[in-house]
A and B are shown apart, each in its own frame.
Chain A
Amino acid sequence: MGKIVAGIGSSHVPSIGVAYDQQQQESPEWKPLFDGYTPAKDWLEEIGVTHTIVLYNDHGTDFFYDKYPTFAMGAADEYPIGDEGWGIRPLPSVKGDSDFSWHLANSLVLESEFDLTVCQEMVMDHGLLVPLPVLFSHQPDWSVKTVPLAVNVLQHPLPTAKRLWKLGLGLRAAVESYPEDVRVAVIGTGGLSHQLHGERFGHMNADWDNEFMDRIEDDPKSLIDISHKELMERGGAEAVEMMMWLGMRGALSPKVEKIHRNYYQPMLSGMGLTVMADAS
Protein backbone atom coordinates (compact mmCIF):
# COMPACT_ATOMS: atom_id res chain seq x y z
CA MET A 1 0.00 0.00 0.00
CA GLY A 2 1.04 3.60 -0.50
CA LYS A 3 2.70 5.37 2.39
CA ILE A 4 3.71 8.94 3.10
CA VAL A 5 7.21 8.78 4.57
CA ALA A 6 8.38 12.39 4.55
CA GLY A 7 7.24 15.99 4.41
CA ILE A 8 9.43 18.83 3.23
CA GLY A 9 8.90 22.57 3.23
CA SER A 10 11.26 24.43 0.90
CA SER A 11 11.53 27.86 -0.64
CA HIS A 12 11.62 28.00 -4.44
CA VAL A 13 13.43 31.31 -4.98
CA PRO A 14 14.53 31.31 -8.66
CA SER A 15 18.06 32.59 -7.97
CA ILE A 16 18.72 29.28 -6.16
CA GLY A 17 18.23 27.52 -9.51
CA VAL A 18 20.56 29.96 -11.27
CA ALA A 19 23.24 29.49 -8.59
CA TYR A 20 22.80 25.71 -8.76
CA ASP A 21 23.26 25.65 -12.54
CA GLN A 22 26.34 27.86 -12.19
CA GLN A 23 27.71 25.44 -9.57
CA GLN A 24 28.03 28.09 -6.88
CA GLN A 25 27.40 25.60 -4.07
CA GLU A 26 30.74 26.45 -2.44
CA SER A 27 30.69 30.23 -2.97
CA PRO A 28 30.50 32.19 0.29
CA GLU A 29 27.15 33.75 -0.66
CA TRP A 30 25.49 30.44 -1.45
CA LYS A 31 27.16 27.89 0.80
CA PRO A 32 24.85 28.58 3.78
CA LEU A 33 21.89 27.74 1.56
CA PHE A 34 23.18 24.69 -0.30
CA ASP A 35 24.82 23.15 2.78
CA GLY A 36 21.33 23.04 4.27
CA TYR A 37 20.09 20.73 1.52
CA THR A 38 22.90 18.15 1.70
CA PRO A 39 21.67 16.31 4.83
CA ALA A 40 18.10 16.51 3.53
CA LYS A 41 19.05 14.89 0.22
CA ASP A 42 21.12 12.19 1.95
CA TRP A 43 18.29 11.33 4.32
CA LEU A 44 15.68 11.14 1.55
CA GLU A 45 17.92 8.73 -0.34
CA GLU A 46 18.46 6.65 2.78
CA ILE A 47 14.74 6.18 3.49
CA GLY A 48 14.02 5.16 -0.11
CA VAL A 49 11.53 7.69 -1.46
CA THR A 50 9.98 6.49 -4.73
CA HIS A 51 7.50 9.31 -5.42
CA THR A 52 7.05 12.98 -4.64
CA ILE A 53 3.95 15.14 -4.66
CA VAL A 54 5.02 18.76 -5.07
CA LEU A 55 2.74 21.68 -4.18
CA TYR A 56 4.02 24.68 -6.08
CA ASN A 57 2.81 27.62 -8.09
CA ASP A 58 3.30 28.36 -11.75
CA HIS A 59 4.74 31.86 -12.35
CA GLY A 60 3.66 32.29 -15.97
CA THR A 61 5.46 29.26 -17.38
CA ASP A 62 2.54 27.06 -18.41
CA PHE A 63 -0.44 28.98 -17.01
CA PHE A 64 -1.50 32.54 -17.70
CA TYR A 65 -4.35 34.64 -16.32
CA ASP A 66 -6.57 33.73 -19.30
CA LYS A 67 -7.35 30.56 -17.33
CA TYR A 68 -5.54 30.22 -14.06
CA PRO A 69 -6.60 27.11 -12.14
CA THR A 70 -6.97 27.17 -8.37
CA PHE A 71 -5.63 23.60 -8.17
CA ALA A 72 -4.11 21.76 -11.14
CA MET A 73 -2.49 18.33 -10.93
CA GLY A 74 -0.30 16.68 -13.52
CA ALA A 75 -1.23 13.23 -14.82
CA ALA A 76 1.59 12.49 -17.26
CA ASP A 77 4.63 10.21 -17.35
CA GLU A 78 6.95 13.05 -18.29
CA TYR A 79 6.93 16.81 -17.75
CA PRO A 80 9.15 19.05 -19.91
CA ILE A 81 11.29 21.79 -18.38
CA GLY A 82 9.78 25.21 -19.10
CA ASP A 83 11.34 28.30 -20.64
CA GLU A 84 10.41 31.15 -18.29
CA GLY A 85 12.09 33.77 -20.45
CA TRP A 86 15.77 32.93 -19.91
CA GLY A 87 15.95 29.62 -21.79
CA ILE A 88 15.60 26.05 -20.58
CA ARG A 89 17.59 24.85 -17.56
CA PRO A 90 19.90 21.86 -18.08
CA LEU A 91 17.76 19.31 -16.22
CA PRO A 92 16.22 16.05 -17.43
CA SER A 93 12.45 16.19 -17.98
CA VAL A 94 10.66 15.53 -14.71
CA LYS A 95 9.58 11.91 -14.46
CA GLY A 96 5.90 11.30 -13.70
CA ASP A 97 3.62 8.37 -12.93
CA SER A 98 0.28 8.88 -14.64
CA ASP A 99 -1.33 5.82 -13.01
CA PHE A 100 -0.53 7.19 -9.56
CA SER A 101 -1.74 10.66 -10.58
CA TRP A 102 -5.08 9.32 -11.81
CA HIS A 103 -5.51 7.40 -8.58
CA LEU A 104 -4.87 10.59 -6.60
CA ALA A 105 -7.32 12.48 -8.82
CA ASN A 106 -10.05 9.88 -8.33
CA SER A 107 -9.59 9.86 -4.58
CA LEU A 108 -9.34 13.64 -4.21
CA VAL A 109 -12.36 14.40 -6.39
CA LEU A 110 -14.66 11.56 -5.34
CA GLU A 111 -13.66 10.83 -1.74
CA SER A 112 -12.38 14.20 -0.51
CA GLU A 113 -14.58 16.33 -2.81
CA PHE A 114 -11.56 18.27 -4.00
CA ASP A 115 -12.29 19.30 -7.58
CA LEU A 116 -8.98 19.56 -9.39
CA THR A 117 -8.03 20.42 -12.94
CA VAL A 118 -6.21 17.34 -14.24
CA CYS A 119 -3.45 18.06 -16.78
CA GLN A 120 -2.12 15.41 -19.16
CA GLU A 121 0.43 17.93 -20.39
CA MET A 122 2.19 20.27 -18.03
CA VAL A 123 5.40 22.26 -18.37
CA MET A 124 7.52 22.64 -15.26
CA ASP A 125 8.19 25.97 -13.54
CA HIS A 126 10.86 27.07 -11.05
CA GLY A 127 8.28 26.62 -8.29
CA LEU A 128 8.97 22.90 -8.62
CA LEU A 129 12.35 22.94 -10.36
CA VAL A 130 14.20 24.87 -7.67
CA PRO A 131 13.65 22.41 -4.81
CA LEU A 132 13.55 19.11 -6.73
CA PRO A 133 17.20 18.93 -7.94
CA VAL A 134 18.63 19.95 -4.56
CA LEU A 135 16.62 17.20 -2.83
CA PHE A 136 16.85 14.27 -5.28
CA SER A 137 19.52 12.93 -7.61
CA HIS A 138 18.71 13.44 -11.26
CA GLN A 139 21.75 12.49 -13.35
CA PRO A 140 21.32 10.89 -15.77
CA ASP A 141 17.67 10.64 -14.70
CA TRP A 142 15.50 11.42 -11.68
CA SER A 143 15.58 8.99 -8.77
CA VAL A 144 11.90 9.71 -8.04
CA LYS A 145 8.62 10.01 -9.92
CA THR A 146 6.81 13.27 -9.32
CA VAL A 147 3.21 14.46 -9.22
CA PRO A 148 3.13 18.25 -9.78
CA LEU A 149 0.27 20.01 -7.98
CA ALA A 150 -0.01 23.67 -8.94
CA VAL A 151 -1.86 26.06 -6.60
CA ASN A 152 -3.07 29.58 -7.35
CA VAL A 153 -1.22 31.85 -4.96
CA LEU A 154 -0.81 34.65 -7.55
CA GLN A 155 -4.20 36.01 -8.56
CA HIS A 156 -6.66 36.77 -5.76
CA PRO A 157 -9.06 35.33 -4.74
CA LEU A 158 -6.73 32.60 -3.51
CA PRO A 159 -7.72 29.39 -1.76
CA THR A 160 -7.64 29.75 2.03
CA ALA A 161 -5.00 28.31 4.33
CA LYS A 162 -7.63 25.94 5.66
CA ARG A 163 -8.35 24.72 2.13
CA LEU A 164 -4.67 23.89 1.67
CA TRP A 165 -4.70 22.00 4.97
CA LYS A 166 -7.71 20.00 3.80
CA LEU A 167 -5.95 19.28 0.51
CA GLY A 168 -3.14 17.75 2.56
CA LEU A 169 -5.60 15.57 4.47
CA GLY A 170 -7.07 14.45 1.12
CA LEU A 171 -3.62 13.67 -0.26
CA ARG A 172 -2.85 11.45 2.71
CA ALA A 173 -6.08 9.47 2.27
CA ALA A 174 -5.41 9.17 -1.46
CA VAL A 175 -1.83 7.92 -1.03
CA GLU A 176 -2.86 5.41 1.64
CA SER A 177 -5.54 3.91 -0.61
CA TYR A 178 -3.09 3.28 -3.47
CA PRO A 179 -2.48 -0.46 -3.90
CA GLU A 180 1.17 -0.16 -4.99
CA ASP A 181 3.99 0.12 -2.44
CA VAL A 182 4.92 3.73 -3.21
CA ARG A 183 6.95 5.65 -0.61
CA VAL A 184 5.96 9.27 -0.94
CA ALA A 185 7.56 12.57 0.07
CA VAL A 186 5.15 15.50 0.00
CA ILE A 187 6.87 18.81 -0.68
CA GLY A 188 5.29 22.19 0.07
CA THR A 189 7.19 24.93 -1.72
CA GLY A 190 7.34 28.72 -1.64
CA GLY A 191 8.10 31.61 0.67
CA LEU A 192 9.23 32.37 3.12
CA SER A 193 8.83 36.12 3.72
CA HIS A 194 9.16 38.24 0.58
CA GLN A 195 7.38 41.05 -1.22
CA LEU A 196 7.77 41.99 -4.88
CA HIS A 197 4.78 44.30 -5.55
CA GLY A 198 4.69 47.83 -4.08
CA GLU A 199 6.89 50.23 -2.14
CA ARG A 200 7.50 47.60 0.52
CA PHE A 201 9.45 45.55 -2.07
CA GLY A 202 12.20 43.61 -0.30
CA HIS A 203 10.29 43.20 2.98
CA MET A 204 11.52 40.20 4.99
CA ASN A 205 10.68 38.99 8.49
CA ALA A 206 13.05 36.37 9.93
CA ASP A 207 11.18 36.20 13.26
CA TRP A 208 7.94 35.34 11.52
CA ASP A 209 9.63 32.85 9.19
CA ASN A 210 11.12 30.97 12.13
CA GLU A 211 7.88 31.10 14.09
CA PHE A 212 6.07 29.74 11.04
CA MET A 213 8.53 26.85 10.71
CA ASP A 214 8.21 26.07 14.45
CA ARG A 215 4.45 25.95 14.15
CA ILE A 216 4.49 23.94 10.91
CA GLU A 217 6.56 21.31 12.68
CA ASP A 218 4.95 21.26 16.13
CA ASP A 219 1.52 22.88 15.99
CA PRO A 220 0.32 23.15 12.38
CA LYS A 221 -3.35 23.39 13.33
CA SER A 222 -2.62 26.77 14.93
CA LEU A 223 -1.99 28.07 11.39
CA ILE A 224 -5.03 26.80 9.52
CA ASP A 225 -7.25 29.81 10.28
CA ILE A 226 -4.60 32.37 9.32
CA SER A 227 -5.93 34.97 6.86
CA HIS A 228 -4.31 36.06 3.62
CA LYS A 229 -4.03 39.51 5.12
CA GLU A 230 -2.06 38.33 8.13
CA LEU A 231 0.24 36.27 5.91
CA MET A 232 0.86 39.33 3.73
CA GLU A 233 1.26 41.80 6.59
CA ARG A 234 3.79 39.67 8.41
CA GLY A 235 5.64 38.07 5.51
CA GLY A 236 4.98 40.35 2.54
CA ALA A 237 2.44 40.15 -0.29
CA GLU A 238 4.10 37.20 -1.99
CA ALA A 239 4.48 35.23 1.25
CA VAL A 240 0.97 33.84 0.72
CA GLU A 241 2.94 31.03 -0.94
CA MET A 242 3.61 29.76 2.57
CA MET A 243 0.10 28.27 2.57
CA MET A 244 1.48 25.50 0.37
CA TRP A 245 3.59 24.33 3.32
CA LEU A 246 0.32 23.77 5.19
CA GLY A 247 -0.87 21.54 2.34
CA MET A 248 2.25 19.45 2.82
CA ARG A 249 1.87 19.37 6.61
CA GLY A 250 -1.77 18.32 6.39
CA ALA A 251 -0.63 15.18 4.57
CA LEU A 252 1.63 14.12 7.48
CA SER A 253 0.89 12.45 10.80
CA PRO A 254 -0.14 14.87 13.59
CA LYS A 255 3.20 14.32 15.33
CA VAL A 256 6.32 14.15 13.19
CA GLU A 257 9.98 13.43 13.72
CA LYS A 258 12.01 16.54 12.93
CA ILE A 259 14.95 15.54 10.76
CA HIS A 260 16.56 18.75 9.56
CA ARG A 261 16.03 22.47 9.21
CA ASN A 262 17.81 25.41 7.57
CA TYR A 263 17.19 29.14 7.24
CA TYR A 264 19.04 31.78 5.25
CA GLN A 265 17.90 35.30 4.52
CA PRO A 266 20.41 36.87 2.16
CA MET A 267 18.72 39.22 -0.25
CA LEU A 268 15.01 39.36 -1.08
CA SER A 269 13.46 36.27 0.52
CA GLY A 270 13.66 34.20 3.65
CA MET A 271 14.89 30.85 2.33
CA GLY A 272 13.57 28.07 4.55
CA LEU A 273 13.87 24.31 4.63
CA THR A 274 12.27 21.84 7.00
CA VAL A 275 12.41 18.07 6.67
CA MET A 276 10.12 15.83 8.70
CA ALA A 277 9.60 12.08 8.94
CA ASP A 278 6.04 10.80 9.12
CA ALA A 279 5.60 9.24 12.54
CA SER A 280 2.83 6.76 11.77
Chain B
Amino acid sequence: MSTDAEDKENIPGTSVFTGHKSKKGYALNRFAYSLHEENNREAYRENPDQYMDSCGLSNWEKEKVNARDWKALINDGGGSIYMLIKIGAVTGDGLVAIGAQQRGESVEEFMKSRNVPLRQNM
Protein backbone atom coordinates (compact mmCIF):
# COMPACT_ATOMS: atom_id res chain seq x y z
CA MET B 1 0.00 0.00 0.00
CA SER B 2 1.33 3.39 -0.90
CA THR B 3 1.38 6.06 1.75
CA ASP B 4 -1.11 8.89 1.85
CA ALA B 5 1.62 11.39 1.12
CA GLU B 6 2.69 9.58 -2.06
CA ASP B 7 -0.91 9.47 -3.25
CA LYS B 8 -1.03 13.22 -3.11
CA GLU B 9 1.49 13.32 -5.91
CA ASN B 10 -1.34 12.58 -8.29
CA ILE B 11 -2.28 16.26 -8.38
CA PRO B 12 -1.31 17.43 -11.89
CA GLY B 13 1.68 19.79 -12.06
CA THR B 14 2.24 19.45 -8.34
CA SER B 15 5.35 18.24 -6.59
CA VAL B 16 4.71 17.24 -2.97
CA PHE B 17 7.68 17.34 -0.60
CA THR B 18 7.50 13.84 0.87
CA GLY B 19 9.89 11.94 3.09
CA HIS B 20 11.29 10.17 0.02
CA LYS B 21 12.08 13.51 -1.62
CA SER B 22 13.60 14.82 1.59
CA LYS B 23 15.88 11.77 1.74
CA LYS B 24 16.87 12.11 -1.90
CA GLY B 25 17.56 15.84 -1.65
CA TYR B 26 19.17 15.76 1.78
CA ALA B 27 22.67 16.94 0.82
CA LEU B 28 21.32 19.50 -1.65
CA ASN B 29 18.86 20.95 0.85
CA ARG B 30 21.44 20.93 3.63
CA PHE B 31 23.85 22.88 1.41
CA ALA B 32 21.12 25.41 0.59
CA TYR B 33 20.05 25.64 4.23
CA SER B 34 23.64 26.37 5.29
CA LEU B 35 23.44 29.65 3.36
CA HIS B 36 21.32 31.18 6.13
CA GLU B 37 24.70 31.96 7.74
CA GLU B 38 26.72 34.84 6.31
CA ASN B 39 30.09 33.08 6.60
CA ASN B 40 28.75 30.21 4.49
CA ARG B 41 27.32 32.62 1.91
CA GLU B 42 30.75 34.23 1.75
CA ALA B 43 32.48 30.86 1.25
CA TYR B 44 30.02 29.89 -1.50
CA ARG B 45 30.37 33.27 -3.21
CA GLU B 46 34.17 33.01 -3.20
CA ASN B 47 34.44 29.50 -4.56
CA PRO B 48 31.14 27.84 -5.47
CA ASP B 49 32.49 24.43 -6.46
CA GLN B 50 34.79 24.15 -3.47
CA TYR B 51 31.98 25.10 -1.11
CA MET B 52 29.56 22.63 -2.72
CA ASP B 53 32.26 19.91 -2.46
CA SER B 54 32.63 20.66 1.24
CA CYS B 55 28.86 20.09 1.54
CA GLY B 56 29.13 16.68 -0.15
CA LEU B 57 27.15 17.51 -3.30
CA SER B 58 27.26 15.04 -6.18
CA ASN B 59 28.51 16.06 -9.62
CA TRP B 60 24.91 16.04 -10.90
CA GLU B 61 23.81 18.35 -8.08
CA LYS B 62 26.74 20.75 -8.61
CA GLU B 63 26.08 20.83 -12.35
CA LYS B 64 22.38 21.59 -11.89
CA VAL B 65 23.06 24.26 -9.26
CA ASN B 66 25.68 25.92 -11.48
CA ALA B 67 23.25 25.79 -14.43
CA ARG B 68 20.42 27.23 -12.25
CA ASP B 69 18.32 24.27 -13.35
CA TRP B 70 15.76 24.71 -10.58
CA LYS B 71 13.24 22.53 -12.35
CA ALA B 72 15.57 19.53 -12.32
CA LEU B 73 16.66 20.19 -8.75
CA ILE B 74 13.01 20.19 -7.63
CA ASN B 75 11.56 17.46 -9.85
CA ASP B 76 14.51 15.05 -9.90
CA GLY B 77 16.83 16.17 -7.10
CA GLY B 78 14.48 16.32 -4.09
CA GLY B 79 15.02 20.07 -3.74
CA SER B 80 12.81 22.00 -1.32
CA ILE B 81 11.96 25.49 -2.56
CA TYR B 82 12.31 26.93 0.95
CA MET B 83 15.94 25.83 0.98
CA LEU B 84 16.75 26.40 -2.71
CA ILE B 85 15.64 30.03 -2.46
CA LYS B 86 18.63 30.60 -0.13
CA ILE B 87 20.92 29.72 -3.06
CA GLY B 88 19.08 32.48 -4.91
CA ALA B 89 19.89 34.87 -2.06
CA VAL B 90 23.54 34.50 -3.07
CA THR B 91 23.21 34.17 -6.84
CA GLY B 92 20.47 36.76 -7.25
CA ASP B 93 17.84 34.38 -8.62
CA GLY B 94 14.45 35.28 -7.21
CA LEU B 95 11.41 33.15 -6.59
CA VAL B 96 9.76 34.35 -9.80
CA ALA B 97 12.69 33.17 -11.91
CA ILE B 98 12.59 29.79 -10.19
CA GLY B 99 8.83 29.59 -10.65
CA ALA B 100 8.72 30.72 -14.26
CA GLN B 101 11.31 28.07 -15.12
CA GLN B 102 9.18 25.36 -13.50
CA ARG B 103 6.23 26.50 -15.63
CA GLY B 104 8.35 26.55 -18.78
CA GLU B 105 7.87 30.31 -19.20
CA SER B 106 10.06 33.38 -19.34
CA VAL B 107 9.88 35.77 -16.38
CA GLU B 108 8.16 38.29 -18.67
CA GLU B 109 5.51 35.78 -19.71
CA PHE B 110 4.90 34.79 -16.12
CA MET B 111 4.57 38.39 -14.93
CA LYS B 112 1.87 39.02 -17.55
CA SER B 113 -0.25 36.34 -15.89
CA ARG B 114 -0.23 38.11 -12.48
CA ASN B 115 -2.91 40.44 -11.10
CA VAL B 116 -0.41 42.96 -9.71
CA PRO B 117 3.25 42.48 -10.71
CA LEU B 118 4.93 43.26 -7.41
CA ARG B 119 8.53 44.39 -7.30
CA GLN B 120 9.28 42.25 -4.23
CA ASN B 121 8.41 38.84 -5.43
CA MET B 122 9.10 36.39 -2.66
A residues bordering B, Cβ < 8 Å? Answer: 13-15, 18-19, 22, 29-30, 59-61, 64-66, 82-87, 154-157, 195-203, 228-229, 232-233, 236-237, 265-268
25 A–B contacts from the bound complex (CB under 8 Å): A15-B118, A29-B118, A60-B32, A60-B80, A64-B33, A65-B80, A83-B36, A85-B89, A87-B38, A154-B80, A155-B18, A156-B8, A156-B18, A157-B5, A197-B14, A198-B13, A202-B99, A228-B5, A232-B8, A232-B11, A237-B15, A237-B16, A266-B118, A268-B95, A268-B99
Neighbouring A residues of B83 by C-beta, 8 Å: 60, 64
B105 to chain A, nearest CB (A): 9
Neighbouring B residues of A200 by C-beta, 8 Å: 11-14, 103
In the bound assembly, the distance between CA atoms of A266 and B117 in angstroms comes to: 7
Indicate which residue in A59, A155, A232 contacts B22 across the interface (CB closer than 8 Å).
A155
Cβ of A157 and Cβ of B19 under 8 Å apart? yes
Name the CB-closest residue of A to B82.
Answer: A59
Cβ of A155 and Cβ of B8 under 8 Å apart? no
Neighbouring B residues of A86 by C-beta, 8 Å: 89
Secondary structure of the A contact surface, majority rule:
loop
Known pairs A83-B38, A197-B81, A265-B115; A60 contacts B19 (CB<8 A): no
Secondary structure of the B contact surface, majority rule:
helix
What interface size band does chain B fall in? 35 or more
Cβ of B110 and Cβ of A202 under 8 Å apart? yes
Neighbouring A residues of B11 by C-beta, 8 Å: 200, 229, 232-233, 237
The answer to whether the Cβ of B65 comes within 8 Å of any Cβ in the partner chain is no
B36 to chain A, nearest CB (A): 5
Give B61-102 interface residues, CB cut-off 8 Å to A.
Answer: 74-75, 80-83, 85-86, 89-90, 95-96, 98-100, 102
Cβ of A85 and Cβ of B35 under 8 Å apart? yes
The answer to whether the Cβ of B51 comes within 8 Å of any Cβ in the partner chain is no
Indicate which residue in A82, A154, A266 contacts B17 across the interface (CB closer than 8 Å).
A154
Indicate which residue in A156, A196, A203 contacts B5 across the interface (CB closer than 8 Å).
A156
Other 8 A-B pairs with CB < 8 A, given A83-B36, A86-B89, A233-B11: A60-B36, A83-B38, A85-B85, A154-B80, A155-B19, A197-B14, A198-B75, A228-B8
